[in-house]
Structure 1
Amino acid sequence: MKKNQSNITSEKIGLFEKIAYGGGDLASNLILVLSSTFVTFFYTDALGLNAAIIGMIMMVSRFLDGTSDIIMGFIVDKTRSKHGKARPWLLWLAIPITVSLILMFTVPQTGDFGKYVYVAITYNLVTTILYTAINIPYGALTSLMSRDQDQRMVINIFRMTMAQIGSLIINAITLPIVNSLGGSGDQKSWIITSVIYGIAALILFLLCFFKTKERVKVNENKEAEQKMSFITSIKFCLKNDQWLVLVIYWVIMAFGMAMSMSVGTYYAKYILGNENFAGFLMAISIVPVVIFMPLLPPLIRKIGKCKVSIIGGIISVVA
C-alpha cells in the first residue's frame, strides 16, 4: 500500500503540463465549433445548398459517429507504441485533421449533386473519423497521466475551462473574421478562416503531445493480458447499468448542445437581424460556465461527482 501511495504521489502534474493538456481540448473546440456551429451556415448561406439535405447528411453522420466512437475506443485500448497508448494519436492525426478541416470548406464549384457528395465525404472525414480518432485517445489520456483521482479531477477542470474559454472566443470572433475577409457569402473568406483555425489546432495538439506524459503504465505482458473480443466488450458494456445511465444522460445533454450550437447563427441573422449577434448568444451561455468552473473541485470534494452532476442537470433543465 505504501509503495502504491508513493507511486501515486510521484505522479503530480505540473501547471504547464495541465495547461498543455487543456490546450488539446482548445484545439478540439477550434475544429468542433467551426465544423458544427458554422459549417451548416456556410453550406446553406455561402453555397446555397438545401438545408434539409445538409441536415440529413449530418443526421446520418451522427449515427455513424456513435459507431466510430466505440471502434476507436477499442483501437486505443490495443495501441502499443513508444509514446504510449493515447498520446501518439495526437501526433499522428494533428496534420490530417487540419488538412481535412480546410478541405471541408474547399467545396468545388460543381453541380449541386457533386457538392452534396463532396460535403458528405469531407464532413464525415472530419467529424465522424478524424475528430473521433483524435478526441477519444485525448480523453483517455487523463487516466494515463495519473492514478490520483484528485489530480485527474484538476486536469479535467483545466481541460474544460480552456475548452469553454476557447469556445467563447471562437464563437465571438469567427463571423467578424469571415466578414472582414469578404463576408459570410464569400467562400474564400471561410477557407482562409479554416486555415487559421486549422493551424492553431495543429500547434495546440502538438503542444499537448510534447508536453504531457503518460505515467500510468499498462501491463503489456500479452500472456497475462485478458483477451476479449470487440463483440464481447460491447456485451459487457450493455450489461453495465451504470454505464447505460451515463450514456442516456450524455445523449440528452447532446441534444440540448446540438440544438444551441446549430441554430444560433440562423437565429441571430433571421430573427435578430444581425448574424454577428451569434457570438453574443454563445457568450451569454459560456461565460457562466467559465466563472463557475473553478468552483467545481472543492464542490466535488465535498459532495461528490454524482451529486454535482445531478444538481447541474436540474439547473440546466430549469433554465
Structure 2
Amino acid sequence: MIQNRETTTVQRGTYYCYFLGQNMLYFIVSSFAMLYFTDYMGVSAAAIGTIFLAARIWDAVNDPMFGIVVDKVNRKPGKYKFWINIASLVLPVITLLVFCVPDISATGKLVYITITYVLWGMTYTVSDVPGFGISTAISNNVDERNSMLANSRLFAVGGLLVISTVIMKLVSGIGWIGAAAVIAVAGGILMNLMRPVVHEKYQVADTGVTIRRIVDYVLHNKYLLIYYLGITLMFSCNTITVVSNYFAIYNLGSEDYIALMMIISIVPMLAAAVIAPPLIRRFGKYAVTMASCAVGVIIYGGFYMIGYGSIVMVVICMGIGGLAIGMTNVMYPMITADCIEYGTYVTGERATGISFSIQTFTTKLGQAVAASLGAFLLTASGYVPNVAQEAHTLKGIFSMITLLPALGMLGMMVIFGLFYKVREKDVELYIKTNAQNYKE
C-alpha cells in the first residue's frame, strides 16, 4: 500500500478518466484512420503513409516547441491545467473532423486528410504533455506518482478496449462520421471531468528558464535521450496496430476477427498496468523493462516460425506479446519522470514540459514511422483493397505483426541494457536533492 497520499480518490479518478477519454480519441485515429482512408475513402496506402510521415516530421519541430512553451508559460489555473482545459474541448472536435473526409476529388481528399491529421497531432500534443506533466505538480510522493502514472496507462488501454469493442458495430449502424461523433462526445466528457477537481499543488521556483537553458538541459539529460532512442526504435517497428485489421480481414479471413485481434492485444495491456507497479517495487524499472523486451523478442519470433494456422496459437502468441509491449508502455511515463529528476539534479533546471514533449513526440514519431512503414510495405507486398490477397501479400502482413516487433524490442534491449544506468535508489536521491526546487 502507498502511504501518505497527497491526492483524493476523486482527484485520482478524474485524472484517470482524462486518459480514458483522451485515448478513446487517440485510438480511433491511430488504429482506424488508415483503414478508413484506404478501404472506405479510396485513398492509396502509399499516399497515407507519406502523409503520416510528413506529419511526424512537423512534430519534430512542433512538439519540442510546445514543451518549451509549457515550461515558460504559467497561466491560471496552472502551468499544466491551462493547456489541459483547452485540449479537453478542442481534441474531440478535431478527432471528429478526421473522419469527415468529403466526397471530392482525389487531390482534395489528400489535402483535407493532411490538414486535419496534422491539426489532430498538434492538438493531441497539447493534451498529452500537460496531462503527464501535471502528475509532478499534484504529488511529490514518488510511489504515488508511479501509481498514478501506471494507472493512467491502465485507463489509456481501457480507451483502446472501448474503441475495439464498439467501433465496427457503430460504423455498421451509423457510419464512420456517426461513430466518430459518438466517440468524440464520450471522450470529451471524460476528459473534462478533471477540470473542476484537480489542482496543481507544487510549483517549481522561477529560475529564469530560457530556451537556451532548456536545450542545454535536454542535451545534458543523457538518460532521457538514451531511453527515448530505444523507445523510438521499438515503436517504429511495432506495426501490429497498423496492420492487425488487415491481418484479421485477409489472413484470418473475416472482418469479425478485428475485435478478437484488438481484445487479445488489449487485455494483456490491462494486465500489465495492474502487475507492473508491484513488479517495479520488487525488481525495479530497469529489470522489468529488460525482461519484457526479452519476452517480446522470443514470442514474436516464435510466432513467425509457427504460423497462424491455429486461432488458439494466434491468441496465445498475441496475448503474451501484448503483455510484453504493455509492460513497456506502462513504464515509459514513469521513466520519463525519473529522467526529469535526473535532469534537474545535474543541471539545476526542471524542464518537465520539454521532457514530456519528448515522450509525446517519440511516441508519435515511432507510431507514425510504424504506420508509414506498414503502409509502404503493404503497397510493396501487392496489397489491393477489398479483394482476396496473394500469398506473398499475406506473408508480408504476417511479418509486420511478428518479425518487425521482435526486431524493435531487440533493439530496445540493446540500447537500454547497455547505456541506461538510472535505478530506483538513484531517483530517491535525485528527488531528495531537488526538493528545495518545490514550493507549496
TM value normalised by structure 1: 0.87
> Which residue number in structure 1 is paired with residue 202 of structure 2?
216
Q: Is the 2:164–2:259 contact (alpha carbons within 8 Å) kept by the matching residues of 1?
A: yes
- Offset, 1:239: 3.6
State yes or no: 1:260 paired with 2:240.
yes
Residue 276 to residue 76, structure 1, CA distance change in 2 (3 Å) = farther
Residue 211 to residue 279, structure 1, CA distance change in 2 (3 Å) = farther
> Which residue number in structure 1 is paired with residue 394 of structure 2?
none
Identical aligned residues as a percent = 28
Q: Following the alignment from structure 2 to structure 1, what is the Cα–Cα distance between the partners of residues 221 and 204?
A: 23
- Offset, 1:11: 5.7
- Offset, 1:218: 2.4
> Which residue number in structure 1 is paired with residue 26 of structure 2?
32
> Which residue number in structure 2 is paired with residue 226 of structure 1?
208
Q: Helix, strand or coil for the counterpart of 2:203?
A: coil
- Offset, 1:292: 3.5
Q: Deviations over 1:21-60 (max 9, x none)?
A: 1112112211111111101111111111111111110111
> Which residue number in structure 1 is paired with residue 380 of structure 2?
none
User: What one-letter code is carried by the residue in structure 1 that aligns with 2:193?
Assistant: L
Structure 2 unaligned residues grouped into runs of 5+: 300-440
More deviation in 162-171 or 47-56?
A: 162-171
Question: Which structure 2 residues correspond to residues 11-160 of structure 1 after superposition, within 5 A?
Answer: 12-127=6-121, 129-160=122-153
- Say what the alpha-carbon RMSD is for the aligned residues: 1.8
Q: Is the 2:72–2:209 contact (alpha carbons within 8 Å) kept by the matching residues of 1?
A: no
Q: Is the 1:89–1:137 contact (alpha carbons within 8 Å) kept by the matching residues of 2?
A: yes
> Which residue number in structure 1 is paired with residue 365 of structure 2?
none
- Offset, 1:234: 2.6
- Offset, 1:232: 4.4
Name which of 163, 174, 178 aligns with 2:171.
Answer: 178
- Offset, 1:114: 0.8
Name which of 220, 232, 239 aligns with 1:251.
Answer: 232
Moved over 6 A (4+): none
> Which residue number in structure 2 is paired with residue 184 of structure 1?
none
- Offset, 1:120: 0.3
State yes or no: 1:198 paired with 2:184.
yes
Q: Is the 2:24–2:162 contact (alpha carbons within 8 Å) kept by the matching residues of 1?
A: no
Q: Helix, strand or coil for the counterpart of 1:209?
A: coil
TM value normalised by structure 2: 0.64
Q: Following the alignment from structure 1 to structure 2, what is the Cα–Cα distance between the partners of residues 113 and 285?
A: 35
Q: Following the alignment from structure 1 to structure 2, what is the Cα–Cα distance between the partners of residues 14 and 92?
A: 24
Q: Following the alignment from structure 1 to structure 2, what is the Cα–Cα distance between the partners of residues 126 and 276?
A: 29
Structure 1 unaligned residues grouped into runs of 5+: 1-8, 182-188
Q: Following the alignment from structure 2 to structure 1, what is the Cα–Cα distance between the partners of residues 208 and 4?
A: 28
Q: Is the 2:138–2:199 contact (alpha carbons within 8 Å) kept by the matching residues of 1?
A: yes
User: What one-letter code is carried by the residue in structure 2 that aligns with 1:297?
Assistant: P
Counting matched residue pairs gives 297
Residue 160 to residue 227, structure 1, CA distance change in 2 (3 Å) = closer
- Offset, 1:284: 0.9
Q: Is the 1:103–1:122 contact (alpha carbons within 8 Å) kept by the matching residues of 2?
A: yes
Q: Helix, strand or coil for the counterpart of 2:194?
A: helix
Q: Helix, strand or coil for the counterpart of 1:275?
A: coil
